[in-house]
Amino acid sequence: MNAKYLKSAFLACSLLAAGTAQAIPELQLYLEGATYDGGSETWVLNGGPLRLWAIGNVAGPGNKGSIFDVKLSIAYADGLAPTFTLTPSTTGGLGGFTDPSTPGAAVFSQTVTNGSAPLLGDGSSLPTHGIYGSGTDWTEFKLGDFTLTDSPIGDFITSFPTPGAGDANKAQINVYDIAISGVAANTPFHFDLYDHYFTQQNDAKYINAPFSHDAGGTSGTTGTTGTTGTTGTTGTTGQTGTTGQTGQIPEPGIILLFGTGLLGLAFSSRRVAS
């Protein structure tokens, strides 16, 4: 290969790498006040109120357009019986992330206690990434479609991003104040976000927030289970899980204390480039 072709190939690879580096995941999670744990590659908040951001990259770099039927799962130790109340809120302009729209109510979907992982819309399992399986229960909420472009976009990895002028009107950010009752204070919980967008060929592509963009925190109050309503109450029905998605790359592991036992939470470090 002569120098001309070598130069062209190098330029093409450089442009491809630059484009990949600038891409932002379709879905991300962030907890206000959390610290980014580089070992587990997740936002971690120990104590304090839980204000969760569910971020949809609708029109930013690497976007695939609107994201449909978005779901949030909250994982916790088997044997617990938490009740979750998700109150819609906004970013309040924190860090320059304006958010003029309050999301609709998060709708309780189900609580699963059979050791399976959440299912995506095509019937495949959300990769367990050391979270789901025997010893873990989870509760799922429906957040609806992410179609708005009224908030800035940023890559919530390593540190809280600062949106630039070109980042405006790219994303939909749903913020929820999460109250958890029926469990002891400082009980750990883990959050996952998932479902699908449509390709140009109108095929559904099922996705989840990369495990490098997950969130986990400790919360809870002593006493009996509290409020019910659109958030529902915990149940006992479950799903039969299927084998996980292929091509998932294991990530560095972490261990968090769940209830009175240790539950391995090995978070994946890959960043999905869908």
- What pLDDT digit, counting tens, does each position of 16-47 carry? 444 444 799 999 999 999 999 999 899 999 98
Instruction: Residue 18: count other Cβ atoms within 10 Å of its Cβ.
Output: 9
pLDDT at 221: 79
Instruction: Residue 125: count other Cβ atoms within 10 Å of its Cβ.
Output: 18
* Both structure tokens of 218: 């400790």
pLDDT over 70, % of the chain = 73
CA 126 distance to own-chain centroid = 12
Q: How confident is the model at residue 48 (pLDDT cuts 50, 70, 90)?
A: confident
Q: Is the pLDDT of residue 82 over 60?
A: yes
- On average, the pLDDT of the chain sits at 80
Separation CA 17–CA 168 (nearest Å): 24
Q: Is the pLDDT of residue 230 over 90?
A: no
* Both structure tokens of 182: 């029926």
Separation CA 198–CA 183 (nearest Å): 39
Separation CA 148–CA 141 (nearest Å): 20
Q: How confident is the model at residue 237 (pLDDT cuts 50, 70, 90)?
A: very low
Separation CA 175–CA 232 (nearest Å): 19
Separation CA 15–CA 235 (nearest Å): 51
Separation CA 59–CA 61 (nearest Å): 7
pLDDT at 47: 86
Separation CA 230–CA 261 (nearest Å): 31
Amino acid letter, residue 50: L
pLDDT at 222: 57
Q: Is the pLDDT of residue 265 over 70?
A: no
Average of pLDDT values for 54-75?
98
pLDDT over 90, % of the chain = 70
SS3 124: coil
